[in-house]
Chain A
Amino acid sequence: MMEPAMSDEKITELLKNDFAREEARLENDAFASRILSHLSARRRKRAVIISVAGALGAAFAGAQFVKMTGAFSGASVLFGAATGRMGEAGHAAATLAPQLLAAAALAVAVAATAHVLQGEA
């Protein structure tokens, strides 16, 4: 004799239980940590690329230091001419050593790279 056909609820219950068993079995295996270490590896790779690019940029900027001081010397002359209109701030800028201004510009670039790297960490 044939058994009565299953109800929708019974089918849903069978599927749900079967799925829950499978899900529980997969919950604590190594898959998640494998995915997360894969993501970490990608992040580390990006950090290395940014660091290398930042270091190359810094080296290039360092090599141009003399040129930068020259450019800032020109700017100081302009600031000096404008001192009367710009007040104390303009006077302070005009009296700063060009080497100091160039070093400050490089420091800003290094800080920006460090900020990006911190975001990657």
Chain B
Amino acid sequence: MALSDIELVTLAKATQSEAAFAELVRRHQAGLRAFLRKFTRDGAQADDLAQDTLLKAYRAIQGFEGGASFRSWLYAIAWREFLQGKRKSAANDRLAREAAPDADDEIDHSSVSELSIDLQRALASLEENERAAILLCDAAGMSHAEAASALGAPLGSVKTYVARARERLRAALHAEAAPVNASTAKPELAATRSR
């Protein structure tokens, strides 16, 4: 029978061996990277962040007290790493500006469907907190409480971010799907118009 995350963490803490932590890495790396890739829209940056996150988690595992799920603890490290990196690097400030919906060249078109491209474009139009919250809750399937723990934000704020993000995504996707001016519609403008 497969051990739960908490059992693996307990084992990793007690034995200080890598085997238990390795299982946690295998279990969570894809989800973590998918979240970071969708969030940053930059595969290399996302993988660097994921690597730093996992190595930091390995060093800090003794400090995990089990108040939250291991997954939200891991994502909280990733979120802090992202914020720290953003503060450190002036280049990362470009991310916010590049979050404009017409930053089409940021999207890897090779492996995604037409709808997915629209979705990524719409996601890109969201503010960071909204994008992170909706990715954690709706895409990764976290509860609002888990997402709040991961983002270090109050529960009420996370619920607001998710609701606002859904509203903006709806407007952006609606604009994309509209037959008139569909190719030139700016989701951000459409979102503004829809309010």
Contact = CB atoms under 8 A, between A and B. Distances in A.
Instruction: Tell me the interface secondary structure of chain A in the complex.
Output: helix
Contacts of B33: 26, 31
Interface in A48-98: none
A31 B37 CA distance: 14
Contacts, number: 83
Given A5-B170, A18-B119, A35 B138 contact: no
A36 B34 contact: no
Interface in B86-139: 111, 115-116, 119-120, 134-135, 138-139
Size class of the contact patch on chain A: 20 to 34
A25 B111 contact: yes
Nearest to B54: A35
B26 interface: yes
A11 B118 CA distance: 12
Contacts of A39: 18, 21-22, 55, 58
B34 A38 contact: no
Interface string A1-43: 1110110100110111011011111110001101110111001
A2 B16 contact: no
Contacts of B49: none
B29 interface: yes
Contacts of A25: 111
A57 B128 CA distance: 54
A45 to B, nearest CB: 13
A11 B134 CA distance: 10
A18 B38 CA distance: 9
Given A5-B170, A31-B29, A35-B25, A22 B58 contact: no
A19 B116 CA distance: 10
A34 B47 CA distance: 11
B30 to A, nearest CB: 4
B151 interface: no
B80 interface: no
Contacts of A21: 116
Interface of B: 16, 18, 21-22, 25-26, 29-31, 33-35, 37-38, 47, 50-51, 54-55, 58, 111, 115-116, 119-120, 134-135, 138-141, 166, 169-171, 173-174, 177-179
Interface of A: 1-3, 5-6, 8, 11-12, 14-16, 18-19, 21-27, 31-32, 34-36, 38-40, 43, 119
Given A14-B119, A16-B141, 17 more contacts: A2-B178, A6-B173, A11-B138, A15-B135, A15-B138, A15-B139, A19-B140, A21-B116, A23-B30, A23-B31, A26-B29, A27-B30, A31-B51, A36-B18, A36-B25, A38-B51, A38-B55
Nearest 7 CB-CB pairings of A with B: A19-B139, A15-B139, A22-B34, A26-B30, A23-B34, A12-B138, A15-B138
